Structures are given as C-alpha cells and as structure tokens.
Structure 1
Amino acid sequence: MHDITILFKIGGAGILLVVLDKVLTSSGKGEIAAITNIAGVVIILLMIVSIIGDLFSTVKTMFVM
C-alpha cells in the first residue's frame, strides 16, 4: 500500500518540471521545454497508473470470496 511519500514524489516532479520549463524557456529552447514537459507528464501518469492498479486489485479482493 502506498503512503504519503508518493504524493511528495509527484509534487517534487511537478516542481522540477516547472523549474526546468522556466529555465529552458528563458534560454530560448522552447521546443526542448515542451518535450521535457510531455516526458514529465508521462512519468507522473505512470506513477498514478500504478496506484490505480493497486486500488483495483484491492477492490477486487474485497469482492472475491
């Protein structure tokens, strides 16, 4: 079961993405900033998908006898 650390990981990844976006955009590398944002969102979504998979398996064990 996941605890609150996964929330800190997602929040930290979000903060890192924002800082990286600002640095890359201010240096004139907007295309690389967009690719970095997409990659970061995919990584965060993969974290969330694993949590949702654990949730579904927990619900499944509640209804299976």
Structure 2
Amino acid sequence: MIDIGIIFKIAGAGIIMMVLDKVLEAGGKKEIATITNLVGIIVILIMVISLIGDLFNSIKTMFIL
C-alpha cells in the first residue's frame, strides 16, 4: 500500500520549487531559477523511481518470481 506521506512530500517539493522560482525570477536570477527547477525535478524523479522499485518488488513477491 502506498504511504500518503510520499504524496505530501512530492507536493511540498513542488510548492517549494514554485516559490523559489518566483523569488529568483523576481530578483533577476533566471539562470539560478532554472537550475533550481532542474534539481527539484531530479529529486522528485528519484522519489518516484524508488516507489516504482518498491512496486516491482511487491509484484515479484506476489507472484514468487
């Protein structure tokens, strides 16, 4: 079963990324805002990849492969 906490972590990371993007762009640091967005996306993808790995392990144990 998926933990609801991971959904809140992903949503929180998205909100933080959005706020950082707006603050940095308002300060004239568009390049740093872009890098911050890329780092945030990579962190979220790592979280999702670990969930997919857990899913495959669950399927593997379910079918005893």
Specify which structure has the bigger relative contact order, considering alpha-carbon pairs within 8 angstroms and separated by 6 or more residues.
Answer: 1
Q: CA deviation at 1:2?
A: 4.0
**Sequence identity (%):** 60
- The two structures have a TM-score, normalised by structure 2, of 0.95
The yes-or-no answer on 1:44 pairing with 2:44 is yes
Query: What pairs with 1:1-65 in structure 2 (closer than 5 Å)?
Result: 2-64=2-64
Q: Deviations over 1:17-39 (max 9, x none)?
A: 00000000010000000000000
Q: CA deviation at 1:63?
A: 1.1
Q: What RMSD, in angstroms, separates the aligned Cα atoms of the two structures?
A: 1.2
Consecutive unaligned residues of structure 2, counting only runs of 5 or more, are none
